[in-house]
Amino acid sequence: MPVIDVHTHIFTHKWLELLRQRGGAYNIQTRPDGQQEVFRGNTPVVIPQKGHFDFDMRIRQMDESGIDISVVSLTCPNVYWGDQATSCLAARESNDAIAEAQARYPGRIRWFTSLPWEYPEAALEELRRTCENGASGVMVLANIAGRNLTDPMFAPIWAEIDRRALPVLVHPTDPPGVDLMDMTKFDLSWAVGFMFDTTLAITRMIFEGFFDQYPNLKLIASHAGGALPYLAGRFEKANEIGIPQRRKMKRKPIDYLRRIYYDCITYSPASLEFLVSVVGADRVLFGTDWPHQVYDIRGAFANTARLPKEQCDAIRGNNALRVFGSDASRGGSEDLMRRDTLAILFSQRHLALAPRATTTAALARPDRRAAPPISRSIARHRTTGTRSVKKASKTEHLKPIRYRRRYRERTPARAPTYTARNTVRLIPERSLAKLG
């Protein structure tokens, strides 16, 4: 079972320089601690870190943490700034940089494309170009320069995404009105504003009947959906007392909440368990927010380890394989979904399941259109890890380091078992010398 991180970000140096020169309301300021930070006016937005720019560093971090595949995205403010030429250039430059990284690390990197949403015709062209060049899904911020995601001007883009059945990562940014709500202090724009942005965007989609209009959308709500899981009961009450003539959705709000996907970034095991109790473990994906200052790789592993094994495996990778690989129509046969006769392949055009024959050809002559299968990619990069082994402790599940990962995949000797309290303990059952 591969570990697949669907919430991890990049910047590029050219993108940052373009923002510095033509960012409009966005500017770069120096924080009291000396770090450079992107602001919108006087509202803090994001602090670029070295890992945003360095894919070699990213791969090392993935190896050390036990992450097999990262589906990366350009984080906020994405490309929603400047004029049309600037927005299109920012999208093209960042998308091409990630495509090059995927070609360099075909078994480890996948990506969400960024689009100039404010210019629908250009966005459609960039969607077509990047899907052909390896994009596996679409990244969109929860508001596009202050516009709602359900704005009619974006309808042609959503229609094409729906036609392609692409996964869409909805990520927050500073919401409109942060200045009026005085969120510029204490990083409240991040701690509260981001959660509000995602919550409002997807709530509006639900009540607008958006998911009925676009039935093939596979939306992923960042940061465990913001406040969405905790408002499920309130949404049901709002639907109950609402005026029938205003109703646009065809089902109950909870049905839509259980249709979309969420990452596991909660910073709290109790919050993750509550999310699972509301929407089900089959709707939750693994995410870390690396390399932001607030990334939580250790917490993502520790919190998922507290769940029953089936749920843990689903969240860490199996759900992502389904979300990014369920489009069997490209292969023309339902037999493509048979895991016992297939190798899992994250294709460069769209994450999909592919026959072994295709996989073998891809291995023989890899290019941007055909990446090696996950299983072989994992086996290859695991062989580079250290072979030293430490004695397991009661808190070993909190330390997802390389040698422990080898045990998980290569032998049942170190497989996690679960007690009545859903805690993990590692039980050695045979000599470590046999790990080879």
Average pLDDT over residues 77-97: 94
Residue 432 has pLDDT above 70, yes or no: no
Whether the predicted pLDDT of 326 surpasses 90:
no
Look at residue 335 and tell me whether its pLDDT is greater than 90. no
**What whole-number distance in Å separates Cα of residue 116 and Cα of residue 124?**
9
Residue 362 pLDDT greater than 70, yes or no = no
- In this predicted structure, the answer to whether residue 234 has a pLDDT above a threshold of 80 is yes
Mean per-residue pLDDT of the chain: 78
DSSP 249-298: -SS-HHHHHTTSEEE---S-HHHHHHHHHHH-GGGEE----BTSTT--HH
Q: What is the pLDDT of residue 254?
A: 96
Judged by DSSP in three states, 9 sits in strand
pLDDT higher than 50, residue 117: yes
Burial class of residue 69, CB neighbours in 10 A (0-12, 13-18, 19+): buried
The rounded distance, in Å, linking the Cα atoms of 346 and 349 is 9
Is the pLDDT at 339 greater than 50, yes or no? no
| Lowest-confidence region among 59-63, 114-118, 346-350 | 346-350
> How many angstroms separate the CA atoms of 120 and 380, rounded?
41
pLDDT score of 346 more than 50: no
Buried b (16+ CB within 10 A) or exposed e, 150-171: beeebeebbebbbeebbbbbbb
Q: Yes or no: say if 113 and 78 are a contact pair by the CB < 8 Å rule.
A: no
Greatest mean pLDDT among 247-261, 332-346, 421-435 lies in: 247-261
The first and second tokens of residue 157, run together, are 């883009």
CA–CA separation, 235 and 194 (whole Å): 20
pLDDT in tens, 255-265: 999 999 999 99
Where residue 312 falls among pLDDT bands split at 50, 70, 90?
A: very high
The residue ranking higher by pLDDT, 435 or 313, is 313
For the stretch 155-209, pLDDT in tens is: 999 999 999 999 999 999 888 887 788 887 787 888 898 899 999 999 999 999 9
The whole-number average pLDDT for the span 22-28 is 83
Residue 410 parent element (H or E): helix 402-410
CA distances for 220 relative to 41, 64, 100, 323, 403, angstroms: 29, 26, 25, 10, 31
- Which distant-in-sequence residues (6+ apart) come within 8 Å of 341 by Cβ? 335, 356
Which pLDDT score is estimated for 349? Answer: 31
Instruction: Please report the DSSP string for 95-116 in residue order.
Output: HHHHHHHHHHSTTTEEEEEE--
Is pLDDT of 407 > 90?
Answer: no
CA 157 and chain centroid, separation: 20
- Mean pLDDT value across residues 411-432: 33
The pLDDT value given to residue 381: 46
Please check the confidence at residue 295 and state whether its pLDDT lies above 50. yes
Q: Is the pLDDT of residue 317 over 60?
A: yes
φ and ψ of 424, to 5 deg: -100, 140
| Of 278, 192, 203, 213, the residue nearest 235 (C-alpha) | 203
The lowest-confidence range among 152-161, 204-213, 324-333 is: 324-333
Residue 58 has pLDDT above 80, yes or no: yes
What are the structural domains, with CATH classification, of the chain? 4-325 (3.20.20.140), 328-382 (no CATH), 396-435 (no CATH)
275/393: higher pLDDT: 275
CA angle (103, 104, 107) in 5-degree steps: 75
Q: Is residue 293 over pLDDT 60?
A: yes
Alpha helices in 74-230 (DSSP H): 84-104, 120-132, 155-164, 188, 194-207, 210-213
Percent with pLDDT over 90 in the chain:
55
- For 168, residues 6+ apart whose C-beta sits below 8 A from its C-beta are 112, 137, 138, 139, 140, 161, 217, 218, 219, 220
304: enclosing H helix or E strand: helix 297-305
Confidence label for 76 from pLDDT (cuts 50, 70 and 90): confident
Residue 289 has pLDDT above 60, yes or no: yes
For residues 110-125, one letter each, b for 16 or more C-beta atoms within 10 angstroms of the residue's C-beta and e for the rest, the string is bbbbbbbbbbbebbbe
